[in-house]
Amino acid sequence: MNDYTGHHNRTIAYDAGEYVSHPTGHALTISTVTAEQILDSRGNPTVRVSLRLDDGFEAVASAPAGASTGAFEAVELRDGGPAYGGLGVQGAVTAVRTEIGTLLTHHSYNTISDLDRALRDLDGTRAELPLHRWLSLVTGSAERMPVPHFNVLNGGAHATNALDFQEFMIAPVQAATEAEAVRTGAEIYHALARRISTKYSAAGLGDEGGFAPPIDSAEEALDLLVAAITDAGYTPGVDSVAIAMDPAANGFSLGGGRYRLAGRELARDELVDYYENLVDSYPIRSIEDGFAEDDHEGWIALSGRLADRIQLVGDDLYVTDAARILDGAHEHYSTAALIKPNQIGTVSQTLDAITAARRERVAKYNRLTQIEAQNPTISYGLA
């Protein structure tokens, strides 16, 4: 388990679905239920509910809505009217404080399933929630099909060649559908296989399934990818078929802000310059772990140079730890975080990490509305 606590004393509130059983194992007996209207990550109203158990344990949950809704998913209760374009949830807040609160505080529940069943019976509908929709709700994320990143060239710890960078991926960002993106990736993969076979006679596969030809520089890898994209009949470009890299800089870090690439030692500023030159020369849209996990100065320098041009992803930097992600957002280390449940150990901590990555920009506004609700005598506006 990861015991990193962070530098800035920020608190992670729990979102819907994360609290699955009482920490001591006995029945759930809820003593109080409160609710309030907050804003989700899109600036739309949603409900936040706080529960207190009879032993003093407290849980807080919020229920952000996706940008689109399917015909068979749970129905939202919105206020209508002019406020928030009709999307207010004061009626839902009132329902939680009254009939739902009464239901929850007048019974004990042996399992979370018992509690959920009681809520469904009160609601009277039979709609169930698919896993992808549940994940969207508990993390405040929009439901969106991902752009697949095909890992097609390997080096570093994933291969036996002399290439220092660990992974090179192709990303069909121009594809209109997931099926089209998969087809694009497959066609480029086979074009790359033909090109590598012609140039190098044969090439093994790395640990991650990408080709591992006998190359030793990022430029050689990028030239191969650009050629394969073109061979397959597509256009290389950050808005068409783009390239993503995972240098995995821990593997070539010398410590102290110094790195060794292709036999040459680089200071962190020189490595930033090198990445910028690659981005200038090739259709790169993402760099993952461009600096070592403990080289925060390097991350800040890279972000200052390239964060407004490409995606900068932290993997080893964050290890799916919510506290580390919050620190990274505060210090401007990166613009994205890679999420891997195996890195942190539990599903709930993984959900915390996703929530942390998405909630920073609206948390301050929700805290202000909470302060106002708790202190109605405080005046609003400029003095």
Q: Three-state SS across 344-370? A: HCCHHHHHHHHHHHHHHHHHHHHHHHH
CATH code, 252: 3.20.20.120
Q: Say if 368 falls within a structural domain.
A: no
User: Are the C-beta atoms of 307 and 335 separated by less than 8 Å?
Assistant: yes
Alpha-carbon distance 359 to 344, whole Å?
Answer: 19
Q: Say if 209 falls within a structural domain.
A: yes
Q: Say if 292 falls within a structural domain.
A: yes
Q: Say if 320 falls within a structural domain.
A: yes
Tally of structural domains, the chain = 1
> Binding site membership: which residues?
246, 288, 315
The pLDDT assigned to 379 comes to 67
**Sign of the C-alpha dihedral computed for residues 306, 307, 308 and 311 taken in this order:** positive
The pLDDT assigned to 293 comes to 94
DSSP for 224-249?
HHHHHHHHTT--BSTTSEEEEEE--G
> Binding site membership for Mg(2+): which residues?
246, 288, 315
The pLDDT assigned to 181 comes to 93
User: Are the C-beta atoms of 349 and 369 separated by less than 8 Å?
Assistant: no
Q: What is the pLDDT of residues 292-348, one digit of tens each?
A: 999 999 999 999 999 999 999 999 999 999 999 999 999 999 999 999 887 887 777
Average pLDDT per 10 consecutive residues for the chain, totaling 383 residues: 53 40 64 91 85 88 63 68 88 90 88 80 68 73 84 85 92 93 94 92 76 91 97 96 96 95 94 98 97 96 95 93 92 92 81 80 55 71 51
Instruction: State the pTM of this model.
Output: 0.66
Q: Say if 85 falls within a structural domain.
A: no
The pLDDT assigned to 368 comes to 58
Dihedrals phi, psi of 244, to nearest 5 degrees: -120, 145
Q: Say if 33 falls within a structural domain.
A: no
Active site residue 340: yes
Q: Say if 170 falls within a structural domain.
A: yes
**Can you give the residue range of the structural domain that contains 243?**
150-361
Six-digit token string for 318: 């964050």
The pLDDT assigned to 6 comes to 60
**Sign of the C-alpha dihedral computed for residues 72, 73, 75 and 78 taken in this order:** negative
Alpha-carbon distance 188 to 125, whole Å?
Answer: 47
Best CA proximity match to 154, nearest among 224, 258, 232: 224
Which of 128, 178, 340, 372 is labelled catalytic? 340
* CA 263 to mean position of chain CA atoms: 35
Best CA proximity match to 222, nearest among 205, 239, 207, 241: 241
Q: What is the pLDDT of residues 213-253, one digit of tens each?
A: 898 999 999 999 999 999 999 999 999 999 999 999 999 99
Which of 208, 219, 293, 360 is labelled catalytic? 208
Active site residue 270: no
The pLDDT assigned to 205 comes to 80
Q: Say if 128 falls within a structural domain.
A: no
The pLDDT assigned to 68 comes to 46
Measured distance between the N- and C-terminal CA atoms of the chain, rounded to whole angstroms: 48
